[in-house]
Structure 1
Amino acid sequence: MTSSESVSILPPNMAEQPKEITVIGAGVIGLTTAIKLQEKAGYQVTIVAEIWPTDHLSPRYTSPWAGGHHCTAIMSHDPRDLQMETETFRVLWEMSAPGHPAEKCFMRAPQYGYYFEEFSNPRNVETTPDFKFLPKSALIPGAVAGISFTVVSFDPILYLNYLHKRFLAAGGKMVHGSVQHIKQVIEGGSTVFEGKPPTPPAAIIVCSGLGARSLGGVEDTTVAPVRGQTVILHAPWVDFGATRRKFDEDVVSYMIPRRNGNLVVGGTMGADDWYPLPRPETKLAILERALALWPEIAPPEVRKQRSPTVEDLLPIVVYEGVGFRPGRKDGIRLEVEWIEANDAKAPVVFNYGHGGSGFERSWGSASIAVELMENALKKA
């Protein structure tokens, strides 16, 4: 071998080791952010969370209770919101394509949005597939405007399990743990929740959702639940989604079809409402509003004979859901702060406060969080 052909090989202990990163929270925001990092070179990511997607359903774990679609017809003109939702829609659209490993989590369906008050142009929805404004003749009673486009709907439980498996397949680690204070993780890393010697991480990303309100060292009292209650019907004959919006009400009527033939009917926007169980009177109100707007949700054999009633829907109820959207007064918190704990110091990136847009902005907010973390580490 000539000198020009010689190769210098560093001993294993001198090779650059991946940076240990800890993500707090295993909801859609935590999982997506962790995947973004784990699938990049140079990082070993561990998620610490009290509840994983494979665990029992709980009101304390919000993501499984989501309605489940990327619906871009929400009033917002914030450039950052548009950036996050545009990136996320692109990723979900790719995942919903035939042949993708996540395809069975998704369904592409026509979506109709009906507005009961005049509004300015609803963001950049013209860029969504098959977008058009509805003619007056196509509006439901009482609506003053409407739009239609193709939406990506999904089963949140299936999708969360897909994200979980994808993260583990990429080499990520999961640890069950209830973090009382951010300093526990700064000093000890994820291993302290396993009874092992401490391994301080290079950085931490807080994706704790509503938990940011009580997490020590964060204690963001501007975070509060926006309670959502839904009813899931088995109505495979409904192949489109629809939403009725009036912006000064704490209810929003919608229906979202899923690939398995179920139909999510909602819902409520109960600010600072902590009640964890479905309210029977709310269930009936949800079904009454939806049936009045979209009688198509009733079984076809009933509609052939007479006008359907709520009683006709009760036999096809699969289950009811209650979830606490992690609302935040000033919107999503995406920023970084250096925090010390007993001689250990690390950049802590905050990625929480998504309200009802967690799935819709997940991949976009993950990109911003990763960029914040990497910039902080470069300046260390």
Structure 2
Amino acid sequence: MASPIPMKKEVVVLGAGVIGLTTALQIQREGKYNVTVIAETLPSDPESITYTSQWAGAHHVYNPIEDPAQHKLDERTFDVMWELSAPGSEAEECFLRVHQTEYFFSERPIPEPLETMPDFQRLPESSLIPGATWGISFSTVTIDVPIYLNYLLMQFLAVGGCIVRGSVQHINQVIEGGARAVPGASTGHIFSGGARPKGPDAVIVCLGLGARFLGGVEDKNMFPIRGQTVIIRAPWVRFGRSSSGEKNKEMTYIIPRRSSDVIVGGTKVPNDWYPKPRPESTRDILERGLALCPELAPPEIRSQGTPTVENLLPHVVGQGCGLRPARKGGIRLEAEWMSVPHGRGKVPVVHNYGHGGYGFQASWGSAEVAARLLEDALEHGQPE
């Protein structure tokens, strides 16, 4: 007699940003779980300040924090993205492989974490920009964020994942009733149950800044780091360039996308909640971007002399403003057991949030750690 096929565990992921979608996809692919993502905003929705992932640059250049654990998340994510960006890959259109140059005005950690990147080289002093003390170059990927987020969503649905649009005020809503407890949720394959909906076997919190406000979590260590960028249509720019550490100046970066858009940034202001681009910041970003990368101006303009910001303005196609979900103490990537209301035991809750401005470049590494935490919790139960 054949052994019965084990029932799949029901898992709810809260949040559909890059961390939530990558985590949900990673877990659903393992074949042991039915994963449902609950989110108020999805990648195809109109742009919103509450959905940070849409505003990212984004490129993979490693987190400057001297944290080996963080660098492992970055390194693993780069390996996945490098493979996804390979010519002929089904995800190739989401990425652009570029030659990246980085200039620094302050000390760098030793060993340099970027030494593991393809084609890594230290720049000779003669090729540094004025004031820079250190420079490197390497190959990396940039990410066309709107396309990539929808790619993750479609991949998740293709392997059997479920999406429920809704807002959750308190984690107990989901712990007790699962996705059916979200007003307006369709049942789908979500959870079987009688008069009272059955809760999930586990919940994964990937809400970014939302973790600060979700009842039952309310992580006050979460705070925004406001970022503003300018989007220029410049198909002639096919390289990345950044400078950082210059006294009294923001980090400046040039991030081209496969679509021919170039992200020029940026700002990095903690605890600034303002949701709209500031005109004075836009001007400052363009001035800094042009100083770092005169090639932003069209070739015909450069052939006539030194380009100015006014030469760039006709090519500006948009502005971005997002709130990076930062956390005092760094990423929260851990499991805890939370009580089901009305004395019906406990369930594991895996937290995966607080990535600041490094969500894309740590996404796959974080998702794999979250998957291991989930598996360990469900296999071994609550610690004594």
* Aligned counterpart for 1:92 among listed residues 81, 85, 100: 81
Q: Distance in 1 between matches of 2:199 and 2:236?
A: 53
Following the alignment from structure 2 to structure 1, what is the Cα–Cα distance between the partners of residues 249 and 211? 24
Which one is further off, 78-87 or 336-345? 336-345
| Displacement after TM superposition at 1:57 (Å) | 1.2
Using the TM superposition, give the Cα deviation of residue 379 of structure 1 relative to its aligned residue in structure 2, in angstroms: 2.0
How far did 1:15 drift? 3.4
- Secondary structure, counterpart of 1:355 in structure 2: coil
Q: Does 1:107 align with 2:96?
A: yes
Give, as a single letter, the amino acid of the residue that structure 2 aligns with 1:225: P
Q: Which residue of 1 aligns with 2:191?
A: none
Name the structure 1 match of 2:190.
none
The structural deviation recorded for 1:122 is: 5.7
Shift of 1:292: 1.4
Moved more, 244-253 or 324-333: 244-253
2:354 is matched with 353
Aligned to 2:2: 9
Quick one: which of 23, 26, 45 aligns to 1:36? 26
Tell me, yes or no, if structure 1 residue 221 matches structure 2 residue 217: no
Find the residue that maps to 1:251 and give its secondary structure. Answer: coil
Distance 1:251 1:63 in 2: 21
User: For the residues of structure 1 that align with 2:50 and 2:163, how far apart are their CA atoms?
Assistant: 18
Within 5 Å, which residues of 2 pair with 1:42-81? 42-72=32-62, 74-81=63-70
1:364 aligns with 2:365: yes
Instruction: Output the CA distance in 2 between the equivalents of 1:248 and 1:301.
Output: 34
Aligned residue number for residue 310 of structure 1: 309
The residue that corresponds to 2:193 in the other structure is none
- Which residue number in structure 2 is paired with residue 4 of structure 1? none
Specify the alignment match of 1:343 in structure 2: 343
Following superposition, the deviation at residue 224 of structure 1 comes to 0.5
Tell me whether 1:204 sits opposite 2:203 in the alignment: yes
| Contact persistence 1:250–1:269 (CA under 8 A) | no
- Report the TM-score when normalising by structure 2: 0.93
Partner letter of residue 44 of structure 1? N
Query: Retained in 1: the 8 A contact 2:66–2:109?
Result: no
Q: Which consecutive unaligned segments of at least 5 residues does structure 2 have?
A: 188-195
Structure 2 distance, partners of 1:215, 1:120, is 36
Shift of residue 291, structure 1, vs aligned partner: 0.9
Q: How many residues matched?
A: 369
Alpha-carbon distance in 2 for matches of 1:112, 1:19: 46
SS of 1:189's equivalent in the other structure is: helix
SS in 2 for 1:219: coil
Look up the equivalent residue of 1:153 and give its one-letter code: T
- Paired with 1:110 and 1:122, the residues of 2 have a C-alpha distance of 21
Distance 2:316 2:16 in 1: 29
More divergent stretch after superposition (123-132 vs 101-110)? 123-132
Deviation larger for 30-39 or 298-307:
298-307
Q: Is the 8 A contact 1:224 1:328 kept in 2?
A: yes
Query: Which of these residues, 153, 171, 184, is aligned with residue 182 of structure 1?
Result: 171
2:8 is aligned to 18
Q: Which of 112, 116, 138 is 1:123 aligned to?
A: 112
- State the 1:248 CA deviation: 6.3
In 2: Cα distance, 1:165 partner to 1:366 partner: 17
Shift of 1:145: 1.0
Asked if 1:140 is matched to 2:140, the reply is no
Percent identical among aligned pairs is 54
Q: 1:195 & 1:240 partners in 2: Cα distance?
A: 45
Stretches of structure 1 that go unaligned for 5 or more consecutive residues are 1-7
Report the counterpart of residue 154 of structure 1 in structure 2: 143
Aligned partner of 1:231 in structure 2 is 230
